[in-house]
Amino acid sequence: MRRGYRVVFSLLFIASLLPGSVAAETPPATLDRLRSQLSDMLSGWTGDFAVSVTDLQTGQMISVNGDEEEPAASTIKIFVAIAIAQQIDAGNVNRADVDDQMQLMMGESDNDATYELIDLLGGGDIVAGTAEVNTVAQGLGTTGVILDSPPDHAEVDLGLAADNLLTTNDLNLVLAKLYHGQILSPDSTDYVLSLMTLPDDWQNGSLGGPLPDGATFYHKPGWLDDPYNTWNDAGIVVVNRNGAPVAYAISYLASFSDSEGESYDNGYAVSQAVWAYFDAAYPVETSHYFPETGFSVSNGFLSYWQQNGGLEVFGYPLTGEVQQDGTTVQYFERARFEWHPGAAPDNYDVILGLLGDELTASRRAAGEAPFAASTQRDQDGCVYFDATSQNLCGGFRAYWEQFGGLALFGYPISSEFTENGTTVQYFERARFEWHPGSDPQHYDVLLGRLGAEELANQGH
């Protein structure tokens, strides 16, 4: 490991898209400028640096010496977490039995917890467990990941290298596979990613410092004191752009700076430049035209539509913005958006109209049985709402709780009943319909086209 100036920067773009994600149709024009910007930035720093960034939407790549091996510090614990999660998936380890150690390792970077987990991988043989982490890393396609000793336990020495080592290219290769679900089961993928949100606030200030509110940073930092003066970090940044996730992996390895704090601060500068690139490459839409219906959705209505379920929950726009009873509104297939300035700033001042309530007003006034108050409380699998004297049960309850709750759907205003051959339940802002086999991931619940029905009642 030579001292003095060396820049290692890689920008990897791996083509593996999440459903519904936003991908650039052509290479962003700023790509070469980002590379030049980072090279100029790093050229003024003392020490050894490695950076890799993976755009998880596209297949573009630029790379400069991303395979250089650097001191790993605790960032190598990502591979220990993955190795344990693989054992959970295989049925060899009970997650509940290791969760405390996993949280300590990934959140507080506790080395004793890490030792216990590596020992478990070896069936009580710490040397075998250390070797197993290397086997797992190699099986993921890495070539420069070396765990010679469990962190802070130099008495265990496989004799593979003078230090534990990582490369930023290897880190980003594995982070991309983890994000796209190519390593673990869905449950274990979510588990490992959740563990990567546990670092303390001070650990988030380097690569995570420049990120905007609302961004999620799944990562594992690591650090070493003098003479290494190491600050490492590797993780995945996810932001919502135009109703879809935009994600990138960023790995930063810095050693032999004048101080550990300098390595930390330089990571902030790298992350700031990379975030600026992605912010420009995937701009926020202010208006979107839907050729399916010939209408556009703009500004706060568009942001609300994108961030609260989009097409599945609200459907296509059926009108432009119009004035109704002194309020700016826009109709969608399943909802009416209303703009109430100052009423809900966290939701772009958008409140959903009470279409379910309005469309059933005459039926409730006529005393139709499904809309009568229920006196049956404490039913198994149900929740009772005093506000409307109705129960919410089964799949309808699960959908309501998981996909929007009170804000999107309002309180139930009927019991479950059969309407036109379909099991339905009305809410203040929605109608739930049960269509067996149509969408198991959403409990086979589809939302009724109340917006379209209201417009039809108005003669449109």
| Residue pLDDT, tens place only, 259-281 | 999 999 999 999 999 999 999 88
Give the residue-averaged pLDDT of 98-127. 98
- Mean pLDDT for the chain? 91
pLDDT at 14 over 80: no
pLDDT at 254 over 90: yes
Show the tokens assigned to 416. 């479950």
**323 and 269 both lie in a single domain:** no
Residues in the chain: 460
In a domain? residue 1: no
Least confident of 29-33, 190-194, 224-228, 366-370: 29-33
Give the residue-averaged pLDDT of 114-133. 98
pLDDT at 111: 97
Show the tokens assigned to 153. 């336990």
CATH of residue 73: 3.40.710.10
Burial class (CB in 10 A: 0-12, 13-18, 19+), 296: middle
C-beta atoms surrounding 275 within 10 Å: 20
Contact 232, 49 (CB under 8 A): no
In a domain? residue 147: yes
Show the tokens assigned to 293. 């219906």
Dihedral of CA atoms 272, 275, 276, 282 in degrees, nearest 10, equals 180
How many independent structural domains does the chain possess? 2
**114 and 231 both lie in a single domain:** yes
**229 and 365 both lie in a single domain:** no
pLDDT at 63: 60
pLDDT at 30: 58
Give, in order, the Cα–Cα distances in Å from 399 to each of 226, 418, 432. 54, 18, 9
**291 and 271 both lie in a single domain:** no
pLDDT at 16: 34
pLDDT at 242: 83
**244 and 313 both lie in a single domain:** no
pLDDT at 26: 42
| Residue pLDDT, tens place only, 390-404 | 999 999 999 999 999
- Alpha carbons 309 and 24: distance in angstroms, whole number: 22
**249 and 396 both lie in a single domain:** no
| Residue pLDDT, tens place only, 154-171 | 999 999 999 999 999 999
Tell me whether strands 244-255 and 230-241 are parallel, antiparallel or unpaired: antiparallel
| Banded pLDDT at 1 (limits 50, 70, 90) | very low
pLDDT at 65: 65
pLDDT at 11: 38
DSSP state string for 334-399? S-EEEE-TTT-GGGTTEEE--HHHHHTHHHHHTT-GGGSPP---S-TTEEEETTTTEEEEHHHHHH
Q: Which domain holds residue 207?
A: 6-281
C-beta atoms surrounding 316 within 10 Å: 17
pLDDT at 33: 81
pLDDT at 61 over 70: no
Which among 22, 31, 69 has a CA at the least distance from the CA of 274?
A: 31
pLDDT at 244: 83
- Alpha carbons 225 and 374: distance in angstroms, whole number: 66
C-beta atoms surrounding 418 within 10 Å: 10
**156 and 10 both lie in a single domain:** yes
**161 and 266 both lie in a single domain:** yes
In the chain, % of residues over pLDDT 70: 92
pTM beyond 0.75, yes or no: no
CA end-to-end distance (rounded Å), the chain:
74
- Alpha carbons 460 and 450: distance in angstroms, whole number: 13
**335 and 216 both lie in a single domain:** no
Task: Name beta bridge partners: 342.
Answer: none
**277 and 304 both lie in a single domain:** no
Centroid of chain to Cα 380: 33
Least confident of 55-59, 210-214, 237-241: 55-59
Residue 81's contacts (CB-CB under 8 Å, 6 or more residues apart) are 102, 105, 106, 192, 195, 196, 220
pLDDT at 20 over 50: no
| Residue pLDDT, tens place only, 324-380 | 999 999 999 999 999 999 999 989 999 999 999 999 999 999 999 999 999 888 889
pLDDT at 64: 64
**275 and 307 both lie in a single domain:** no
